[in-house]
Homo-oligomer: A and B are copies of this chain.
């Protein structure tokens, strides 16, 4: 039955946007997409689209300056922080961070809490002495290891962690206090809550979860930390190349989109507003999961992510049926990652509260029918 319904639905293009729970690239604010549409094929007064202007033009320079100003405002970044928009994805940062900051005669600590954290650790260990401060791999990354049990090196050049684990639906709900500069892969919860900047040396985030389309990584690096980097370095991998000037062609369209998403976030009320909205969405969804035994959250309660909500149903067949039926109701991209199974609802900044409400209503109905 689901198959027939599905076939019917996918053969007709929907006239409205569906509720999109994709883990990334994730949903974007509709208002931003409509603005982009209205600026095609002509952007402002340039006589072409934004994709066809020089990255040295006043128009593109203004876009980057606006995106930086927005980030400074939203996060309260002082001038001590450099803001970069680089291509290559957060995965390139797994290499670029230790290239710059792991000293030949020193070490760095890594908190291994999921797929991406493990990949970051692997690239650090490839280059030098990367130490595993703690790992939750023993229990399929269902929790964030207790800081009291972290094996810390007081001389580490930095402490690397992944603030939110997209695949496993866990999140670090505090700022680690480890006595060395924090380096954070914040790709999947960037700008969803405040950051205590004083503890950090560098923060990076692939745009495609919370702040834009795939194709650009935002990097925040503190000048005092930057000055400690290894030298000399390959030009493109040296963060100093990019803090000094616009070295090569940036991913223009992605930065243009990020600027629009930042303006949208600022218009909502910035971090305090989005944090409240995110807290409410997550509380409602976890509340529904916990209300009966039909749904079962996969992450330990105190490690639950407010961005990626992962849960199981009593049987795999029911999970497949859940995903397929949800799709026919306009709730899409709910299938969990194969490492966890079950359902994953990614409820990033741009996921509207109505989407969560619709999901909860569907969960109620599905349980009533199949529970």
Q: On chain A, which size bracket covers the interface?
A: 35 or more
Extra pairs beyond A30-B41, A95-B237, A213-B252 (8, CB < 8 Å): A13-B44, A17-B48, A24-B54, A24-B249, A26-B52, A47-B330, A86-B88, A90-B248
Residues of A228-254 whose CB lies within 8 A of B:
232, 234-237, 247-254
Pick the most buried of A13, A90, A254: most chain B CB atoms within 10 A of its CB.
Answer: A254
Answer whether residue A368 sits at the interface, using C-beta atoms and an 8 A cutoff.
Answer: no
User: What are 23 A-B interface contacts by the 8 Å CB criterion?
Assistant: A11-B45, A14-B42, A20-B48, A20-B52, A25-B54, A25-B249, A26-B52, A30-B41, A33-B40, A33-B41, A51-B213, A87-B92, A87-B215, A91-B247, A94-B235, A95-B237, A123-B235, A123-B236, A127-B234, A208-B249, A214-B250, A215-B252, A251-B251
Which of B9, B16, B42, B87 lies in contact with A89, CB distance below 8 A?
B87
Question: How many Å from the CB of A38 to the closest CB on chain B?
Answer: 9
Q: Specify which of B41, B55, B247 is in contact with A25 (CB 8 Å cutoff).
A: B55
Contact of A22 among B11, B54, B87 (CB under 8 A): B54
Measured CB to CB, the closest approach of chain B to A213, in angstroms, equals 4
Q: A91-B236, A92-B88, A94-B236 are in contact. Are A252 and B214 (CB under 8 A)?
A: yes
- Distance, CA A7 to CA B223, complexed state (A): 40
Identify which of residues 1-46 in chain A touch chain B, using a CB-to-CB cut-off of 8 Å: 9-18, 20, 22-28, 30, 33-34, 36-37, 40-42, 44-46
